[in-house]
Structure 1
Amino acid sequence: MNFIIDAAIKAVKHIYQTDITPADISLQETRKEFDGQITIVTFPFTRFSRKSPEQTGTDIGEFIKNELTEVSAFNVIKGFLNISLSDQFWINQLYKNIATEDFAIAKPNGKKVMVEYSSPNTNKPLHLGHVRNNLLGYSVAEILKTAGYDVIKANLVNDRGIHICKSMLAWQLFGNGETPESTGMKGDHLVGKYYVIFDKEYKKEIEFLKGEGQTEEEAKKNAPLIKQAQTLLQKWEAGDAEVLDLWKTMNTWVYDGFGKTYKALGVDFDKFYYESNTYLLGKDIVEEGLEKGVFFKKEDGSVWIDLTNDGLDEKLVRRADGTSVYITQDLGTAQLKYNDFGMDESIYVVGNEQDYHFKVLFLILDKLQKSWAKGLYHLSYGMVDLPSGKMKSREGTVVDADDLIAEMESTAKEVTEALGKVNDFSDEEKQELYHTIGMGALKYFLLKVDPKKRLLFDPNESVDFQGHTGPFIQYTHARIKSVLARAGVNSVAQQPTELAPEERDLIVLLNRFPDTIQEAAKGHNPGLIANYVYEVAKVYNKFYHEHSILQAEDELAKQFRLQLSTASAKVISRGMNMLGIAVPERM
């Protein structure tokens, strides 16, 4: 709305002989209880108008109304000047802007962003927490793309370490040569099964040693299984061919399983990084930090950084024996990612239990004067709970992602069939629809809330065709497509001259789409898109119920409403696609 800003600057200059800049003007959406679409806050202008906020608003409002033909009326409520734009302005917005093919798709802005998400361990299947992570990362990446950024989707796979060796050892001891092929299990589930077996057998050994008189800590260290797992890790790090061969085989099983889950979730990646390739990185950065005086050595030879002046504590960056700690690897990986892509921003999608770790990581890189450190961002998100309680993976009570997807499809099938909506669908079409609705319900429920909030996921609540849900929005899209399929949309030269309130409200809302995308991109918040699309669906349904489309009073009104319906379907579809949610043509 730059023309409003320009007119306001001109008004202040003309009335009060004062020069102001666009930065001095605060434009807001007019609150729903007042007339108007654009609001100018007039309080800041009273310092040179020497009048009340109300009188200042009236002065400026009268000038703008006389200056701009697009302005049909204004009103002033306290220090807020509410401006109404004419029906003709909104009709032009629909035909010349909203209805165009590239509406809300921003031109490239020259900025490159990496979004790193998923980051699974290769010792177990993906669970509900991973689902939120994957959906959040994918959606943020898609929003940034639409907002004009060049985006790289990255996945750092945790494919090494003691946890991997636990699954490998349990398979060696108890597996009897089982494979995904011989068992019919997905590979990630099979490997996860042995991670759980390790934990159960390890606990038995701990209890036995405690019965022999050892303390809990002693028993944990001395249990034969943990010692064997540590030996396996040492052999892996030494490059033992037999151990590496088993590691590669079991990881291949897991990657195949992950691939199927990623496909069902509808997420993808442009670049994979593997900890087995990156865990030795960072040692050069430690030397660099010592040279710059950012790090210091203790008497035992260990290397640290003192962050007490920054409100944190001392942090170990290299052990006395010269081996890396986790943050050493992260320092090196951050440098590697920048070397590979030279991005302006690097977003880490990781749960909020790692808030402290990322605060330390980013601070260290900043102190090392890495030019790209200011572009690092931790997209911290809260845990997902089910009504049954918190997930615990090692005990085999994990809420498995594949089970969750199957449950969502089953729930979607129940609800859809109960409503009798699929009587004329083939079996294949039904299965595709149940998957689309089930995944739409799951994704929308997890993405509509602010990422930082912990949330309770209720599968039944999420599949509600009348609620604040994905299926409600999907059904609205299908309804619009059904209307459009029954009536041909013609591009008419003639346009209406007046709008009904419901038509105007819908156009005003659709017009906000580009700004909403930019705001969601800036805040890394898919919830803004999710809630915006829900508003569009709600406002469209109100318009649909108030005004006949196919039986409109004349051909002009019919074609206009069809154009408005086409634009609404496009915005809903694009908005949902940014959330990774498919919208069916019919339901």
Structure 2
Amino acid sequence: MSIQQAIEQQVKKAVKSIYDVTLETVEFQPTRKDFEGDVTLVTFPMLRQIKTNPVQLGQSIGAYLLENVPQVDRFNVVQGFLNIVLKDSLYLEKFLEINRQEDFGKATPGPASQSIMVEYSSPNTNKPLHLGHIRNNLLGYSVSEILKAAGNTVYKTQIINDRGIHICKSMLAWERYGNGETPASSGLKGDKLVGKYYVKFDQEYKKEVNALKEQGKTEEEAKDTAPVLLEAKEMLRKWEAGDEKVVDLWGMMNQWVYDGFEKTYDALGVDFDKNYYESQTYLLGKDVVNQGLEKGVFYRKEDGSVWIDLTDEGLDEKIVLRSDGTAVYMTQDIGTAIQRVKDFDIDGMVYTVGNEQDYHFKVLFLILKKLGYEWANYLYHLSYGMVDLPSGKMKSREGTVVDADDLMEQMTLTAKNISEELGKLDDYSETEKEELYRIIGLGALKYYILKVDPKKRILFNPEESVDFQGNTGPFIQYTYARIQSILRKADFDTSSQKAEIPIGYNLHEKEKELIKQLLLYPETVQLAAENHSPALIANYTYDLVKEFNSFYQNVTILGTTEQTEKIFRVQLARTVGEVIKSAFKLLGINVPERM
């Protein structure tokens, strides 16, 4: 139970005792900096049930708490706000509780815990991952870790879009122009090699369209009848028919891409428990549509196509089967969702997909509810905005998208340049330096993206993200490294030494504020899980680091002559370091021992 929850119980007792009124809720707010207090009770909402003035109400509740709650030291009332000052002993006791917990901030699974699948990444196998995929992967991975920390069982998955005309375009271009080129012979990652031929197809297609237009065809006619496109469509038809040669080519080139993706995922620090492949799921859902027809959830039009009418829910009519009986994406998503519940017996799912698909997921979730699936009430679309870069920076070779591998490489280089300017790495080996640059660069990238509310669009500035001051990953990493330096310099074993509290110890204001911030960590994890928002964890960590740096600048840690005081302060610093490391782990960010 948090301090605020304990105070809330006592306030309800006070009001019941004094006024014989039962309060359903009690409203608190942070104590303003210009007033003394640790917890501030807002009395105005109580006036609906209690006929008195707000100051008198605050005075009477404060007096009750002072008399009946040993942890309350004093109070003051400012208009309708009761500012409660708690005894240092309470905060010291809470700090000792933190030190006794091995996984402070992480909940153990309980009756309310759920089994949740989180889908993220879900790329196409015709091109490498790009900047948009990076935000997607970072969000999906972090939300997975946060949900786990909140006590849930989590399965991480992606559905790889490995079929369709876009795949055949790459295949046809490689077959025509590749001369047997492979990742091994070219030195290119497999996804980049396949992406190269996707671009090549587009170049040849545009040439053919222009030639047809010169022959007198309209642009639409030219686009529809370009021979290279017709050949790609024929290749798709052969794939769907199981043509051995086409299927073998498809399998070889897709494997190149899978291998390339794995290298990118490994560098980015994300993983998956299971991959689903569209080539294996695209027929799922058709049986469900037939069942839905029998239940009256769907209806069939005269041309044979099957639809659902969602106009009563403020949406529109949506097709779920074409007139020729083939599935649309919605059909596949219905079938895949049902298959995942069968595979993992999950309670719900989180789909990490850009906000351009908001409408699609509203429709999908509503259809699954109408089909009678209870778990459909626990589906969530983790919708996010686009990531933009300042113009002219880090364009890919095609000049259109920012390649994920190139961006990570650029971030490492940016971290190297800035670190060398600061000149604090003279005693590092070259290997140690390179690893540190990678940790700082990736930390900067991840933190800059994750500190922003997922729904907001981001303008990502690489140089700004690697700043060692302000709300950045490197600033927090540097503070963690500073704490490790304190621990190394301590004249006692900080790994085994338990926090010792001198009898009657009076907390310095900065020590108290730091403990108060530490105590917010478990509820921040829960709040981040409820809101599917890594930004809450990121900004909590920044606030914790600001409090620590204020503590560091105002309180003597290693220089104090009182050994018990020194041990307590070092242990306080150590605990802050552990929470920083724990919080950053939820964001998928590493912390260096030295910087």
Q: What is the alpha-carbon distance in structure 2 between the residues aligned to residue 207 and residue 103 of structure 1?
A: 64
Aligned partner of 1:54 in structure 2 is: 55
Contact preservation (8 Å) 1:147, 1:521: yes
Q: Say which SS state the counterpart of residue 321 (structure 1) adopts.
A: coil
Unmatched segments (≥5 aa) in structure 1: none
For the pair 1:555 / 2:563, whether they are aligned, the reply is yes
Q: Which amino acid aligns with 1:220?
A: K
Point out 4+ residue stretches in structure 1 off by more than 4 angstroms.
Answer: 389-396
- The equivalent residue for 1:136 is 139
Q: 1:502 pairs with 499, 504, 510, which one?
A: 510
Whole-angstrom distance in 2 between the partners of 1:416 and 1:85: 44
Is the alpha carbon distance of 1:394 and 1:298 closer, same or farther for their aligned partners in structure 2, counting shifts above 3 Å?
A: farther
Pair 1:491-2:498 in alignment: yes
TM alignment of 1:363-378, pairs within 5 A: 363-378=366-381
1:275-327 alpha-carbon deviations (Å, 9 max, x no partner): 01000001011101111111111111000111111111111110000000111
Matched, 1:438 2:441: yes
The whole-number CA distance in structure 1 between the counterparts of 2:501 and 2:139 is 44
Q: Check whether the contact 2:500–2:567 (CA below 8 A) recurs between aligned residues.
A: no
Deviation at 1:31, TM superposition (A): 3.9
Corresponding residue SS for 2:513: helix
Deviation, structure 1 residue 47: 2.7
Matches within 5 A, 1:128-527: 128-388=131-391, 397-487=400-490, 488=492, 489=494, 490-491=497-498, 493-495=500-502, 497-527=505-535
| 1:139 Cα deviation from its structure 2 partner | 0.4
1:571 aligns with 2:571: no
1:88 aligns with 2:96: no
Instruction: State the shift of 1:221 in Å.
Output: 0.7
Q: Give the direction of change, closer, same or farther, for the CA distance of 1:392–1:113 in structure 2 (3 Å limit).
A: farther
Shift of 1:41: 2.5
Matches of 2:498 and 2:282, distance apart in 1: 60
Q: What is the TM-score with the length of structure 1 in the denominator? A: 0.97
Secondary structure in 2 matching 1:268: coil
Counterpart residue identity of residue 374, structure 1: N
Sort the Cα spacing of 1:33 and 1:159 in 2 relative to 1 into closer, same or farther, 3 A: farther
Partners of 1:161 and 1:251 lie apart in 2 by 12
Deviations 1:367-406 (A, max 9, x none): 1111111111100000000001799999552100000000
Distance 1:493 1:463, change over 3 A: closer
On the 8 A contact 2:537/2:583 being kept in 1, the answer is: yes
Q: Hey, what's the Cα distance between the residues in 2 that align with 1:286 and 1:536?
A: 52
Residue 363 of structure 1 deviates from its aligned partner by 1.0
1:98/1:510 contact within 8 Å kept: no
1:35, CA displacement in angstroms?
2.5
Deviations 1:82-137 (A, max 9, x none): 22211111111111225532211211133111110000111100000000000000
Could you say which residue in structure 2 is the equivalent of 1:118? Answer: 121
Q: Is 1:29 aligned to residue 30 of structure 2?
A: yes
Q: CA RMSD, aligned part only?
A: 1.6
Do the aligned partners of 2:307 and 2:317 also contact (CA within 8 Å) in 1? yes
AA matched with 1:584: P
Q: For 1:393 and 1:124, how far apart are their aligned partners in 2?
A: 12
Contact 1:199/1:395, CA 8 A, preserved across alignment: no
Matches of 2:392 and 2:77 in 1, distance apart? 51
Number of aligned pairs?
585
> 2:126 and 2:292 mapped to 1: Cα distance?
34
Residues 340-349 or 401-410, more deviating: 340-349
Give deviations 1:325-379, integer Å, cap 9, x for gaps.
1111001001011111222220000000111111111111111111111111100
Displacement of 1:77 after TM fit?
3.1
Compared CA separation, residues 106 and 582, structure 1 to 2 (3 A): same
- What letter corresponds to residue 339 of structure 1 in structure 2? K
Pair 1:389–1:69, CA change in 2 (3 A): farther
Paired AA for residue 283 in structure 1: K
Q: Is the 8 A contact 2:305 2:325 kept in 1?
A: yes
Amino acid at match of 2:498: S
Letter in 1 for 2:382: L
CA contact (8 A) 1:195 1:394 kept: no
- 2:423 partner letter: G
Contact kept? 1:99, 1:563, Cα under 8 Å = no
Which has the larger displacement, 494-503 or 517-526? 494-503
CA separation of 1:77 and 1:289: change in aligned 2, threshold 3 A: farther
| SS across alignment from 1:366 | helix
1:234 & 1:534 partners in 2: Cα distance? 54
Residues 32, 265 of structure 1: alpha-carbon distance in 2 compared, 3 angstrom cutoff? farther
Q: How far apart are 1:423 and its partner, in Å?
A: 0.8
The one-character-per-residue Cα deviations of 1:512-546 (angstroms, maximum 9, x if unpaired) are 00010000000000000000001111111111111
Aligned residues with identical type, % of pairs = 60
- On the 8 A contact 2:500/2:568 being kept in 1, the answer is no
Amino acid in structure 2 at the alignment position of 1:93: K
The separation in 1 between residues aligned to 2:392 and 2:31, in whole angstroms, is 42
For the residue of structure 2 that corresponds to 1:276, the secondary structure is helix
Q: Is the 8 A contact 1:382 1:454 kept in 2?
A: yes
Normalising to structure 2: TM-score of the pair?
Answer: 0.96
Shift of 1:207: 1.3
3-state SS of the aligned residue for 2:324? coil
Unaligned runs of 5+ in 2: none
Q: Distance in 2 between matches of 1:406 and 1:467?
A: 23
Distance 1:390 1:494, change over 3 A: closer
Q: Determine if the alignment matches structure 1 residue 530 to structure 2 residue 538.
A: yes
123 and 392 in structure 1: CA distance in 2 versus 1, 3 angstrom threshold: farther
1:49 match: secondary structure: coil
Q: Which moved more, 1:338-347 or 1:143-152?
A: 338-347
Q: Which one-letter code corresponds to 2:122 in the other structure?
A: S
TM-aligned CA distance change 1:357 to 1:492, over 3 Å: closer
What CA distance in whole angstroms lies between the structure 1 residues aligned with 2:546 and 2:354? 32
> Aligned in 2, Cα 1:320/1:572: closer, same or farther, shift over 3 Å?
same
Q: Helix, strand or coil for the counterpart of 2:49?
A: helix
Matched AA of 1:572: I
Corresponding letter in the other structure for 1:273: Y
The CA distance in 1 between the partners of 2:521 and 2:45, in whole Å, is: 29
> What secondary structure is seen at the aligned counterpart in 2 of 1:273?
strand
1:24 counterpart SS class: coil
For 1:7, the equivalent position in structure 2 comes to 10
**Within 1, Cα distance between the matches of 2:295 and 2:392?**
48
